[in-house]
Amino acid sequence: MKLFKKKISRQDHCAQWCSTKGNSRRLQLRCLQLALLVERFLPAGRDGVTALCVGCRDNIELDAIEHACGIKTKGLDLEQTDPRIEVGDMHKMQFEDGSFEVVYSAYNLHHAKDLQVVIDEFLRVVKPGGLVVIETPVQFTDYDKTTTVNSKGWVKIDAKSTKNLLALMGERISEVLVRDDFVSRDNPELIARLIVRRK
């Protein structure tokens, strides 16, 4: 007698992954939501496709991208909590030009010291035709200037909107795939979400 494994969709597989991990479910769901959106714009043949996850903190974003997109990941953060993460600074990445098919930055761009420098680095390390994926809080409610320190002592830079992020990218992108400024259910701040294809 042959036993057949039921083929499940990538979304169902991701939901199973999310429900079986002990990490923060809300963070997992947020990461999966963005990763599943990115998955739509990836080529069918994904062998050798690698995403750089900038400011990933730990394994949650890396795992979400791998599960949702079926691609390999490498992380970059100020500290290493997973073997896939390299220690480094988003303002001066140690990677060669055109090293990645996807550069993914979720909820960390507002911690940049210089947005233009970071955007330039994203566009430098992504391959021509590759994707740059950004999701970041903008128009902060607990800040009164573009660059300031909040009550916890954290410095935040406000990109203000997807329009401003696109202006920083200039003529180096060929296509805007997703452009959305929205209010999240679990976050009172406005979120800028942008997925672009590099020329």
- At 90-116, the pLDDT tens digits run 999 999 999 999 999 998 898 888 999
Kindly report which listed range (63-72, 100-109, 139-148, 178-187) carries the lowest average pLDDT score. 139-148
How far is residue 103's CA from residue 45's CA, in Å, rounded to a whole number?
A: 18
User: Measuring CA to CA, which residue among 133, 181, 175 is closest to residue 159?
Assistant: 181
Q: What is the pTM of this model?
A: 0.84
List of domains in the chain: 37-198 (3.40.50.150)
Provide the pLDDT for residue 149.
Answer: 56
Residue 148: pLDDT band (50, 70, 90) is: low
Please tell me whether residue 35 adopts helix, strand or coil conformation. helix
Residue 171: pLDDT band (50, 70, 90) is: very high
Residue 184 phi/psi, 5-degree rounding, is -80, 150
Residue 79 CB neighbour total at 10 angstroms: 8
158 DSSP assignment: -
What the block records as the tokens of 193 is 């979400």
**Helices assigned H by DSSP within 40-170:** 59-69, 115-125, 162-169
Residue type, 87: V
Q: b/e for 150-184, b at 16 or more Cβ within 10 A? A: eeeeeebbbbbbbeebbebbeebbeeebbeeeeee
Provide the pLDDT for residue 44.
Answer: 86
- At 49-70, the pLDDT tens digits run 999 999 998 898 999 999 899 9
Over the chain, what is the mean pLDDT?
Answer: 84
Pairs from 70-77 (Cβ < 8 Å, separation ≥ 24): 70/10, 70/39, 70/46, 71/42, 71/46, 71/101, 71/102, 72/48, 74/50, 74/100, 76/52
Provide the pLDDT for residue 190.
Answer: 86
Highest average pLDDT, of 7-21, 128-142, 146-160, 163-177, comes from: 163-177
Provide the pLDDT for residue 110.
Answer: 86
Whether the per-residue pLDDT at 30 is higher than 70: the answer is yes
Report CA torsion sign: 58, 62, 63, 64.
positive
Whether the per-residue pLDDT at 11 is higher than 60: the answer is no
Q: b/e for 18-31, b at 16 or more Cβ within 10 A? A: beeeeeeeebbebb
Provide the pLDDT for residue 83.
Answer: 96
